[in-house]
């Protein structure tokens, strides 16, 4: 627990120590799950005499926007100017000018991401994360000067884009399936987004707990057994 506490303190230097300590004491949501021998994206455990399998189906490496370009993490920004030449008018940037600039006068380079370009839609572009101004206010309330708070906020924005587009973020579907004697009785699925690193992927286990996916699916399994035996 002490190693986890020190790691969290480094990652959140302005967070009160008692809050970080509470985080460190939180049980690991992945505890009790065992990696399946069938595939890397499946875990298993036994609950109430049922075999429960958690599987992850990957869909996209980038946050999927709605028709307005919004996601759960922020919003995409279109490029202004000629898509062929990459600039418009007096713009002297390294990339086309974003149609919307980041708050607080942050440079356009802070909101630029680069895609791998494997398929259409994975090219580079602009993305403005949520809560930029709130993050700046947080640093100011923590006693930082305006310039230091601005620098820290810029780092926050760049870290967000790194996490979302370079980790990469994986938009996936998490499924819980309940079996008895290798007979599938019930299943449920829910979409989510996780960071591609190990710590980010741990969220799938937290999500399963937060939304009572195991409990609800076992209840469905028991109902299925009742229907079969009547």
For the stretch 68-101, pLDDT in tens is 888 888 999 998 865 555 555 678 888 888 999 9
Residue where a domain terminates, one of 122, 150, 165: 165
Average pLDDT of the chain is 82
Ranges 59-73, 103-117, 142-156, most confident = 142-156
Judge if 48 and 131 occupy the same domain. no
224's tokens: 């299925």
Same domain, 179 and 194: yes
Return the SS3 of 114.
Answer: coil
Interior/surface letters 10-33, b for 16+ CB within 10 angstroms, e for the rest: eeeeeeeeeebeeebeeeebbeeb
Six-digit token pair at 187? 């299943």
- DSSP assignment of 92-110 equals --SSPEESSPPGGG--GGG
For residues 222 and 188, state if they share a domain. yes
Task: Please state the pTM of the whole predicted model.
Answer: 0.59
Inside any domain, residue 69: no
Same domain as 161, residue 123 = yes
Helices (H), the chain: 2-11, 17-25, 132-141, 146-165, 198-201, 203-210, 213-229
Q: How many domains does the chain have?
A: 3
pLDDT at 116 over 70: no
Are 175 and 119 found together in one domain?
Answer: no
The domain containing residue 27 runs over which residues?
1-31
Please state, in angstroms and rounded to a whole number, the distance separating the CA atoms of residues 104 and 146. Answer: 11
Percent share of the chain, pLDDT over 70: 76
pLDDT tens, 195-226? 666 666 778 888 899 899 999 999 999 999 99
Q: Please tell me whether residues 40 and 87 are part of one structural domain.
A: no
Structural contact between residues 45 and 52, judged by C-beta atoms closer than 8 angstroms: yes
Instruction: Calculate what percentage of the chain has a pLDDT beyond 90.
Output: 43
Judge if 157 and 107 occupy the same domain.
yes
Pair (116, 150) in one structural domain: yes
Same domain, 190 and 158: no
With cut-offs at 50, 70 and 90, classify the pLDDT of residue 1.
very low
What are 119-155's pLDDT values in tens digits? Answer: 555 678 999 999 999 999 999 999 999 999 999 999 9
């Amino acid at each position: 627990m002490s190693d986890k506490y020190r790691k969290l303190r480094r990652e959140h230097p302005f967070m009160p120590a008692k809050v970080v300590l509470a985080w460190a004491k939180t049980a690991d949501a992945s505890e009790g799950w065992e990696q399946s021998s069938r595939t890397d994206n499946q875990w298993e455990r036994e609950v109430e005499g049922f075999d429960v399998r958690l599987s992850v189906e990957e869909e996209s490496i980038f946050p999927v926007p709605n028709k307005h370009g919004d996601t759960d993490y922020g919003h995409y920004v279109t490029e202004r100017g000629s898509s062929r030449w990459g600039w418009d008018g007096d713009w002297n940037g390294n990339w086309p000018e974003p149609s919307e600039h980041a708050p607080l006068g942050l440079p356009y380079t802070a909101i630029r991401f680069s895609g791998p370009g494997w398929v259409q839609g994975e090219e580079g572009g602009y993305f403005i994360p949520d809560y930029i101004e709130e993050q700046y206010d947080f640093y100011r309330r923590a006693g930082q000067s305006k310039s230091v708070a601005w620098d820290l906020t810029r780092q926050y924005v760049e870290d967000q884009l790194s996490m979302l587009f370079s980790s990469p973020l994986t938009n996936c579907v998490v499924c819980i399936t309940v079996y008895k004697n290798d007979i599938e009785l019930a299943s449920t699925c829910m979409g989510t987004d996780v960071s591609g690193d190990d710590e980010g992927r741990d969220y799938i286990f937290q999500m399963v707990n937060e939304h009572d996916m195991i409990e609800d699916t076992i209840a469905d399994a028991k109902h299925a057994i009742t229907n079969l035996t009547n």
